[in-house]
Amino acid sequence: MEHTPSPQEMPLVCYNAFYNTPAGQAFKKHLGRILLQIWPTLHHLSLLGLGYTAPYIPLWQEQTQPTMTLWPVAEHTPLTFPNLSQHDNFFPSCCISSSENLPFPDSSIDRIFLIHPALSRKSLFHLIKESRRILKENGSMIIALPNRYNILGYMFPFHLEKKWGTFQCDRLFSAASLSIQKQYFVSFSPISRIPEPLYQGLDFIGRNLFPFLSGFILTEVCKTVYNPIPKEAMLFSRRLLTQSLSPQYNNANHYPQNSTEKEWTQT
């Protein structure tokens, strides 16, 4: 009897099917080359993959100790592991976890790689904040998100993910208290069977002339140790001073939430 994928299992099945095609292999080869330029060696460092990282974790698997992969799901989703034994490329040590409560202690992971999470904007924001919590002070994280201004982000299977622009990425990482180290713009041409030199040539032209039209935005981030005080908090501190000097001032105000964080937690 043929197995029917559940809604929770469907994104994994779609990504697995894509990476088993020639187009998926070409995308994996091109993106893997960029990843090795960012992290050439990870000797004696712990590595955590979030999302569908099966094609890319083997790039460093022999170097890192230990290597782990998690498939994050939204809060209140049943944590039952999908039946993926029939899919060849799925990384065998992958586990499933809530995006809002990763099962690792604070500051315990050296490197985190996030790609193909298939989450809503709110769940992705919570996942990135949790990733910051478990990331070491001197660690770094690579986040790959599809670009909303390129047709590639709307093709199979990337249509399962939320689309982002560079400005949205900047606001997202700032709200999660992460500092951008460097951004990479990749995959400017639609994935098809084109010669590798032509594929690289189109990407070279795109990176230099039209970076905002890339198919994917790769961002290397690290922890922000010192954050600027939000403007709302500064205004609130003045109100507190006014209340203490003027007892007749009885306008009770709650501490305002950071407007940037409020934007992602309510979408």
Q: Between helices 22-38 and 196-209, what is the axis angle to 10°? A: 50
CB under 8 A, 24+ apart: contacts of 189-195:
189/215, 190/151, 190/152, 190/155, 191/23, 191/24, 191/26, 191/27, 191/152, 191/155, 192/23, 193/22, 193/23, 193/26
Domain ranges of the chain: 10-227
Angstrom distance (rounded) from CA 62 to CA 59: 8
- pLDDT at residue 263, as a whole number: 60
Q: Tokens 């999660």 — which residue?
A: 176
In sequence order, the 6+-apart residues with CB closer than 8 A to the CB of 78 are: 8
Tell me the C-alpha to C-alpha distance, in Å, between residue 194 and each of 18, 39, 94, 102: 17, 27, 33, 40
Ordered alpha helix ranges (H), 20-120: 22-38
User: Cα 207–210–216 angle (5° rounding)?
Assistant: 65
* Position 264 confidence tier, pLDDT thresholds 50, 70, 90: low
What pLDDT, in 10s, does the model give residues 6-17?
A: 556 678 888 888
- pLDDT at residue 206, as a whole number: 67
Tell me the C-alpha to C-alpha distance, in Å, between residue 37 and each of 28, 49, 184, 206, 218: 14, 18, 11, 18, 12
* Window from 99-103, 115-119, 161-165, 237-241 with minimum mean pLDDT: 237-241
| pLDDT, average across residues 186-197 | 65
Contact 120, 74 (CB under 8 A): yes
**Model confidence pTM above 0.85:** no
What pLDDT, in 10s, does the model give residues 108-166?
A: 999 999 998 888 888 889 999 999 999 999 999 999 998 887 777 677 777 778 888 88
CATH number belonging to the domain at 10-227, selected among 3.40.50.300, 3.40.50.1000, 3.40.50.150, 2.60.40.10: 3.40.50.150
Angstrom distance (rounded) from CA 21 to CA 103: 33
Is it true that the peptide bond before 157 is cis, omega within 30 degrees of 0? yes
223 by DSSP, 3-state: which? strand
Angstrom distance (rounded) from CA 59 to CA 34: 11
Tell me the C-alpha to C-alpha distance, in Å, between residue 161 and each of 123, 133, 226: 12, 23, 31
Residue 38 has pLDDT above 80, yes or no: yes
